[in-house]
Structure 1
Amino acid sequence: MTIKHLYIVRNTVTAFVVTLFFSCENDFGDVQKIGVLQNQPIGEAKQIDLKYTELIEDTVHLKANLISPKMLDYSNRDFSFSEFPEGILLKVYDDDGKITTITSRYAIFYSDTDIIDLRDDVTITTHSGEVLKTNQLYYNEKLEWVFTNQPWVFTQASGTKYGVGFDSDKDFKNFEMLEMGGDFELDN
């Protein structure tokens, strides 16, 4: 009777373990799928041409035009962002319709903080012909403020300035440098 009892217990335990093993496999697979989905973008767009407009006194004004070969939307993350892995061309229009052009080979926009991180061959060309070049540049949309800790070159009609790191308003009127070089004309 003990051998028969041992046989029944062993078969019951084996059946239970096999059942548990197969039921866990599906759950573990589902868990793996969830992890993959959270790391993937929720959307992907190719050849985008976005136009930002503003309605002023019953007239629509073009404020900016964003062009990019590819955009990845990670708004499914806790700290959501949009990534532009193949770069951007951004045209910003002032109230008089004058254009400032911004290009970079890579960009990322953090929607929670309204910070744009531009990287790799960043160039800003203003409507008046000023050109700023750097390898990385941040833009705070709320404060309309640009800054970097990277080396930069700023070419104006008065000459070329260069340095490492700066903070400035979007029009480069309030420009503060961390380290500087080049020829400068100072206003009294």
Structure 2
Amino acid sequence: MSLLHRNILKILVTAFAVTLFLSCDSKADDIRRLSMKSDGPVTEGRGINLKYVDSGKVTAHLKTPYIKNYANASFPYEEFPDGIEVTFISEDGKENLITSNYAIRYKGTNLIDLQDNVVLFTHDSITLKAQQLYWDQSNSWIFTDQPYTLILKDGSRNDGDLFDSNEDFTNFVSLNNVAKQYVKENSEDL
């Protein structure tokens, strides 16, 4: 084999090895890039209409135009940037409805942060309005440190700066209340 052929063969083998090496390195970079966590959501959904079922019974019905799921974040959460509407159904079939223009559900703590035009309608005609409301699903507790308005079935209302309550409002604490109560007069007491 002539010297020229050997040099050409060496150049071809070297070029092939370098190409193979660079090709593998490029694929390794691609694989590393795919496995890296990103700041964006893992999944997104539009026009969501979910029903939560427990022991064969529907316990909640969630509707939202848009959801972002950040399940790979260090503190996983779901974001509802275009609002949320959730109907909660108790074991005895009573329904409570809550709406807001924005919400975040923190998966690790089961805490939901509802913001901007939050309205809660209970099965017994109580309406709660606030700009922000936290709902602790694990402890069945709702609270806010923002001004709120609570309107009862008879039209009585309670405005305050913060409140802390169980879900059915039987254990209710509030601060700086201004209230309007309607009281029936009993003719027997006069």
Deviations 1:9-30 (A, max 9, x none): xxxxxxxxxxxxxxxxx8xx97
- Counterpart residue number, 1:145: 141
Computing the radius of gyration from Cα coordinates, the structure with the larger value is: 2
The structure 1 residue matched to 2:159, chosen from 139, 159, 162, is 162
- Counterpart residue number, 1:117: 113
Cα distance in 2 for partners of 1:157, 1:89 equals 22
5+ residue gaps, structure 2: 1-25, 184-190
Structure 1 runs, 4 residues or longer, greater than 2 Å off: 183-186
- Counterpart residue number, 1:19: none
- Counterpart residue number, 1:14: none
Q: Which amino acid aligns with 1:69?
A: P
The structure 1 residue matched to 2:125, chosen from 129, 136, 155, is 129
Paired residues for 1:65-80 under 5 Å: 65-80=61-76
Please state how far the C-alpha of 1:54 moved relative to its aligned partner: 1.3
Q: Which amino acid aligns with 2:136?
A: N
TM-score by length of 2: 0.75
Q: Secondary structure at the residue paired with 1:38?
A: coil
Cα distance in 2 for partners of 1:145, 1:109 equals 15
Q: Aligned in 2, Cα 1:168/1:185: closer, same or farther, shift over 3 Å? A: farther
Please state how far the C-alpha of 1:148 moved relative to its aligned partner: 0.2
Q: Which has the higher strand share?
A: 1
The structure 1 residue matched to 2:102, chosen from 106, 111, 117, is 106
Please state how far the C-alpha of 1:79 moved relative to its aligned partner: 0.5
- Counterpart residue number, 1:88: 84
Please state how far the C-alpha of 1:185 moved relative to its aligned partner: 7.6
Cα distance in 2 for partners of 1:92, 1:114 equals 15
Instruction: Tell me if 1:38 matches 2:38.
Output: yes
Deviations 1:38-59 (A, max 9, x none): 210000011111111111xxxx
Please state how far the C-alpha of 1:78 moved relative to its aligned partner: 0.6
The alignment's C-alpha RMSD in Å is: 2.6
Cα distance in 2 for partners of 1:168, 1:108 equals 20
Please state how far the C-alpha of 1:157 moved relative to its aligned partner: 2.6
TM-score by length of 1: 0.76
Q: Secondary structure at the residue paired with 2:144?
A: strand
Q: Aligned in 2, Cα 1:173/1:185: closer, same or farther, shift over 3 Å? A: farther
